[in-house]
Structure 1
Amino acid sequence: MLDWLCLCVVSSLLMGLLTVAGYVLYSGLLSDITVLTGSPPLKKITFVYKFKEGPYQNCVQLFKESQSIGPKLSCIGVFYDDPKKVPGPQCRCAVGSILSEGENEADEELLKSYETSGFNVFSFPEATHVVTTSFPHRTFFSVLLGIRRVYPRLEHYIKERRLCAHPFLEIYREDLIQFMVPLARQGDFYVPEVRPAERRLSEQEELHSDSDISGADSNSEYSSGSGVLLSDSRETSLAGSCVQDQGERNYRRRSSRGTSSKELDWEQSGGRQSEREERLHGDSNKKSPEVQELCGAVGGEE
């Protein structure tokens, strides 16, 4: 009798383990993750959202609230900060649902329902170039697996190719989670609640995005792999590092092109003044205080 009970317990445990293993595998544990650069998986959209500051794991409630109003709509999350660099309470995101895509019209009744519940309305254009990948959306566990497995690969892909890509978008379709990171017109993907100063920085980056996009085109090859469970933090916006990288590139461009015409005028003026001082004093190693001050000003501008 005891042996029979032990056998039943062991069989039940094995069946439970097999069920859990099958559930995890079905959720996407071994699914290939292909990251590439190219056309976006999303056309221009009109969506409703709520803006939130705080740890990204607290966004689950916003997804549930949005889905409860429009259960047939695709959900969307836009994440603006990297939780590894930004404290959790300061991480910003916009979470909601897509009302219309492309030339389709939004459902006015649904729109009113969302607005009554405190959701805002905004539109994103169709991005020209993006970093993108996808992950199966079969179970709730697929969301956790997708976040843990996809973001490290997106981060590696972007850093390896030195791309300026932000913010990070997640689009939840019926059977697929699409991840998208714009490479151009990033300022258009910042909702109004994000600080205006950061939107201006993003717009300034777009002035130089042509070179980045051309690099993206040349790096449109993909990377793939199955991987295992990684960090539970969401690898989000690299906006800060992009701004820094862009600044370094601008500095190198400026150095390679030489100084501006105004700076050249000052330098030439300083040079002529230096020659006059040398002729007057007969000493090429001495400069008057005025010349030293002028040279100091030029050096400061450079």
Structure 2
Amino acid sequence: MPDFVGLCVLISVLISLITVAGYIWWSGLFSDIIILTGSPPVKKITFAYKFKEGPYKDCRQLFKESHRIGPKLSSIGVYYDDPEKVLGPQCRSAVGSILSKGDNKPDEELIKSYETSGFRVFSFPEVTHVVTTSFPLKSFFSVLLGERRIYPRLKHYIKERRLCAHPFLEIYREGQILFMAPLARQDDFYVPEVRKAERRLSEQEDLHSDSDLSGADSNSEYSSGSGVLLSDSRETSLAASSVHSVPIQDQEDRNCNGRSSRGNSFKELDWEQKNREEQLHEDSDQKSPEAPTQEWWGAVGEEE
């Protein structure tokens, strides 16, 4: 009798393991992943969202909240930072529901319902080219499997082809998760709160920089608040502004994410930065041979 009970327990355990394994397999464990560059699977969209700064895993509550308001609507998550390079509390995202697609106008009652719950409404334009792929949405495990399987391949695909693709969108619709990153008009995919967060970080960095500069040699041409790095406009000088505008991103990311880098290739950006550096050294030789320009440019060079 004891042997029979033990055998039953063993069989039950084996059945449970097979069931779990089958469930995970069915959820997309071995699904084919095909990454493409071309027309977007979703055209212009208008969506209701809430902006969040914090670990992406905490976005689940926002997905549930938006789904309760519009249970029949597709959900969307927009992710602006790489969690492997940006600390969790500083990761920025926008989560909500798609109210309309294309030229269709969203339902006014739905808009009121979302706005009453603290959501804001924003529209993304239709772009000609995106990097995109999809993953089956069959269970909760599909979401976890999709994130773990898709993003490493997306990053490799983008890096290998030297593409400028950001931010990353996840669209959850019936039976499918769409992953998409625009290759053009990226600025139009940044909700207003992201710009505010960047300005806030920029101001903090500028205050810190001004404090550091106050101790510099007052006789030096480059020791004032209008020094080489700070004198360049954030909208026109990518290399200089990247140190201050978004410190949580590395230089390579800002070459892609920078507002002034629309459509620029990495080679074009590197060429422009070298020209600025050469011009800087020429000016320093003419004005003040002893000015610490090399040290200042070193701060930018290290970020490349």
Contact kept, 8 Å, 2:136 with 2:176, in 1: the verdict is yes
Query: What one-letter code is carried by the residue in structure 2 that aligns with 1:29?
Result: L
Q: Select the structure of larger CA radius of gyration.
A: 1
Q: Alignment partner of 1:115: what SS?
A: helix
Matched, 1:243 2:254: yes
Shift of residue 243, structure 1, vs aligned partner: 2.7
2:94 alignment partner, SS class: strand
Corresponding residue for 2:3? 3
What pairs up with 1:10-89 in 2 under 5 angstroms? 10-89=10-89
**1:94 alignment partner AA:** A
Is residue 127 of structure 1 aligned with residue 127 of structure 2? Answer: yes
Q: Using the alignment, how far apart are the partners of 1:93 and 1:253 within structure 2?
A: 31
Identity of aligned residues (%): 65
- Give the letter for the 1:243 counterpart: R
Kept after mapping to 1: 8 A contact 2:69/2:113:
yes
1:161/1:32 CA distance change after superposition, 3 Å: same
**Deviations, residues 167-218 of structure 1 (Å, cap 9, x unaligned):** 010000110000001111000000000125859x99879xxxxxxxxxxxxx
Letter of the 2:90 partner, please give it: Q
Count of residue pairs the alignment pairs up: 245
Deviation digits for residues 218-237 of structure 1 (CA, Å, limit 9, x no counterpart): xxxxxxxxxxxxxxxxxxx9
CA displacement at 1:28 relative to structure 2: 0.2
Separation in structure 1 between the aligned mates of residue 57 and residue 149 of structure 2, nearest angstrom? 16
Q: Which residue of 1 aligns with 2:111?
A: 111
Displacement after TM superposition at 1:85 (Å)? 1.3
Letter of the 2:149 partner, please give it.
Answer: R
Moved more, 244-253 or 187-196: 244-253
Q: Is the 8 A contact 2:255 2:269 kept in 1?
A: no
Give the match's secondary structure for 1:194: helix
Q: 1:203 to 1:79 in 2, by over 3 A?
A: farther
Distance 1:204 1:42, change over 3 A: farther
Candidates 283, 286, 293, aligned match of 1:293: 286
Q: How far off is 1:83 after superposition?
A: 1.1
Retained in 1: the 8 A contact 2:77–2:171? yes
Q: Given residue 171 of structure 1, which amino acid in structure 2 is its aligned partner?
A: I
2:140 and 2:270 map into 1 onto residues whose CA distance is 47
Structure 1 position 162, deviation (Å): 1.1
Does the 8 A contact of 2:47 with 2:100 survive in 1?
A: yes
Normalised TM-score (structure 1)? 0.71
- Unpaired segments of 5 or more residues in structure 2? 200-232, 238-247, 298-304
Shift of 1:41: 1.0
How far apart are the structure 2 equivalents of 1:21 and 1:114? 39
Q: Which amino acid aligns with 2:252?
A: S
Q: 2:193 aligns to what SS in structure 1?
A: coil
Structure-2 change in CA distance of 1:238 and 1:139 (3 Å): farther
Q: Would the aligned equivalents of 2:79 and 2:93 in 1 still touch at CA under 8 Å?
A: yes
Residue in structure 2 matched with residue 180 of structure 1 by the alignment: 180
CA contact (8 A) 1:28 1:145 kept: yes
Verify the 8 A CA contact 2:49 2:121 in the aligned structure 1: yes
1:42 Cα deviation after fit: 1.0
Assess, with a 3 A threshold, how the Cα gap between structure 1 residues 202 and 55 changes in structure 2: closer, same or farther: farther
For 2:156, the equivalent position in structure 1 comes to 156
Q: 1:172 to 1:125 in 2, by over 3 A?
A: same
Corresponding position of 1:146: 146
| Contact 1:187–1:202 (8 Å) recurs in 2 | no
How far apart, in 1, do the equivalents of 2:249 and 2:84 lie?
Answer: 10
Which amino acid in 2 is paired with 1:293? Q
> Contact 2:39–2:129 at 8 Å: present in 1 too?
yes
The letter for the 1-side match of 2:42 is L
Counterpart of 1:252, as a letter, is W
User: Over residues 22-79 of structure 1, what are the superposed CA-to-partner deviations in whole Å (9 max), with x where a residue is unaligned?
Assistant: 1000000000111111111111011000000001100000001000111110000000
Are the structure 2 counterparts of residues 21 and 251 from structure 1 closer, same or farther at C-alpha, using a change threshold of 3 Å? closer
Residue 281 of structure 1 is matched in structure 2 by none
**TM-score of the superposed pair, with normalisation by structure 2:** 0.71
AA paired with 1:101?
K
8 Å contact from structure 1 (residues 167, 239) kept in 2 = no
